[in-house]
Structure 1
Amino acid sequence: MELIDIGCNLTHDSFDGDRNAVLERARAAGVVQMVVTGASEAGSIAAHELARSHPGELFATAGVHPHKAAEFSADTESVLRELAATDEVHAIGETGLDYFRDFSPRRAQRDAFERQLEIAADTGLPLFLHQRDAHDDFIAVLRSARDALSRVVVHCFTGSREELAAYLDLDCHIGITGWICDERRGTHMKDYMGDIPDGRLMIETDSPYLKPRNLRPRVKTHRNEPQWLPWIAGTLAACRGETPEALAASTTHAARAFFELPATTKAEAGSGMVEHSSP
């Protein structure tokens, strides 16, 4: 199976000591391409640099997470626009609203969200979105801008069936993480994962966060890695009544089309050889 991790925070400092080994383990697990999340001005620059050092295998987003929204400035917008013009950046975000922790004031979150929606509209790049405990405001902002946007993924979806339907009605893609593997808080989602059409479902680790709790044998670390994406795929496939192979094929195809990634094979990714062609 070939898998694509559409959201991993590989610039996180927890990977500083063994980042190359993390990538090797991902390759060995069949994860052939990864999208590195930019969640702040500095983080977006770092994601771009990491992607540039692994052409054809790593790609980047450029954005400011709602936790960092209070830091969003005119200079930040200029940096994001410059990054968006590079070959390595394939989406705008991570952006959105997060009322669970309110690390930035809600007005600042909304302003930063709207300004990044404008960047996506101007550049034609897809959007990588975050929402937690803010669905009503989030969907209202997104709905008002949706006609001007190309493609949208609601990353790390953990919401209700009604929230899922609202995103699908706006032609959004859905990103599923290891939350689906958590028996404490992900079980409510299992009944309606089949509602997501093929072509709009993608998978991600959000590493180093959200390590799948159903890993066997158990691993003595709290840090998540892209190598465990197959566990997420397997759990999600079971929820949808599909084989892991079928889910891998459909989510990989969806990710390549959404992010406009070049075609590759597992062997080519491991050797650094990439065949560039249309998704």
Structure 2
Amino acid sequence: MQLIDIGVNLTNSSFQGREAEVFQRALQANVTQLVLTGTSLPVSEQALELCHQLDETGAHLFATAGVHPHDAQGWDSLSEQRLRQLLKEPRVRAVGECGLDFNRDFSPRPQQEAALHAQLALAVETQMPVFLHERDASERLVAILKEYRDHLVGAVVHCFTGEREALYAYLDLDLHIGITGWICDERRGTHLHALVGNMPAGRLMLETDAPYLLPRSLRPKPKSGRNEPAYLGEVLREVALHRSERIETTAAHTTDTARTFFSLPSVPVVS
């Protein structure tokens, strides 16, 4: 059984000096491929560098490259040139993390939208999929995506935590959905229990968003309190439970979906 973690913030400072051991623990837990999240241009470059440093085979570590809405206020023509160059790198498999965040509003909303438009245009130009962030902005995100959807090869709303209306709006646009340990949170994630059963196989992918969102149902809990890809199996367990599927079935279709979406190579099964 193989798993793919589509969202890992391995550049986060809490992993500094521990990246190799985190990667090895992931492999030991059958998380055979990781997509490292680029949330800014410097972070995207760091993620790409980690791919080369930790995975000489080129089979296990990949990255996204983009500018998160929190950093959108710094977007300019030079940002676009720099991102265009990053998207030419073979290990970079998606544009993003880009999108809209109307919850924290760290960047003014007009600038968030401008950066998103520019990155969606690059995704169309390069014919690469998009790794999307959305918080309290689903209606506006859907409206913008409609302008590009016919020309995008694909898009995933990562770390989906929204309500039924947002989910169906995304599925109507033929988007993919990423589910994290939020579904394991009895305080705020229980609404996802019913929703995951309505996500078609072929549209659903799994992620940790490590080091964030440590599954609250995980036992034993790490003393560090830090999430990592090795714990993706706990997200799998919870998703399978609420889809009324065998764990192996959920693992198979979510892994196949992620491998196709990010154009990842097959990895031999180690018995």
Report the TM-score when normalising by structure 2.
Answer: 0.97
Q: Work out whether 1:111 is the aligned partner of 2:120.
A: no
Aligned residue type for 2:132: L
1:37 offset after TM fit, Å? 0.4
Tell me the SS of whatever aligns to 1:137. helix
The separation in 2 between residues aligned to 1:33 and 1:264, in whole angstroms, is 8
**1:32 maps to which residue?**
32
Cα contact 2:131–2:158 (8 A) shared by 1: yes
Report the TM-score when normalising by structure 1.
Answer: 0.94
Aligned pairs for 1:25-174 within 5 A = 25-53=25-53, 54=55, 55-174=58-177
Aligned pairs for 1:172-183 within 5 A = 172-183=175-186
Cα contact 1:32–1:265 (8 A) shared by 2: no
Cα contact 1:45–1:83 (8 A) shared by 2: yes
1:72 offset after TM fit, Å? 1.1
The separation in 1 between residues aligned to 2:120 and 2:233, in whole angstroms, is 32
CA deviations over 1:86-138 (Å, ceiling 9, x no partner): 10100000000001111101011000000000000000000000000011111
Q: Work out whether 1:20 is the aligned partner of 2:23.
A: no
Cα contact 2:212–2:227 (8 A) shared by 1: yes
Tell me the SS of whatever aligns to 1:195. coil
Structure 1 runs of 4+ with >6 Å offset = none
**2:256 maps to which residue?**
253
Tell me the SS of whatever aligns to 2:99. strand
Cα contact 2:139–2:166 (8 A) shared by 1: no
**Equivalent residues, number:** 268
Aligned pairs for 1:198-213 within 5 A = 198-213=201-216
Aligned residue type for 2:32: V
Q: Work out whether 1:215 is the aligned partner of 2:218.
A: yes
Aligned residue type for 1:66: P
What's the C-alpha RMSD, in Å, of the aligned pairs? 1.1
Identity of aligned residues (%): 53
The separation in 2 between residues aligned to 1:68 and 1:266, in whole angstroms, is 39
The separation in 1 between residues aligned to 2:261 and 2:204, in whole angstroms, is 10
Structure 2, unaligned stretches of length 5 or more?
none
1:266 offset after TM fit, Å? 4.8
**1:272 maps to which residue?**
none
Aligned pairs for 1:231-246 within 5 A = 231-246=234-249
Q: Work out whether 1:8 is the aligned partner of 2:34.
A: no
Aligned residue type for 1:22: V
Structure 1, unaligned stretches of length 5 or more?
269-279
Aligned residue type for 1:93: G
Aligned residue type for 2:84: R
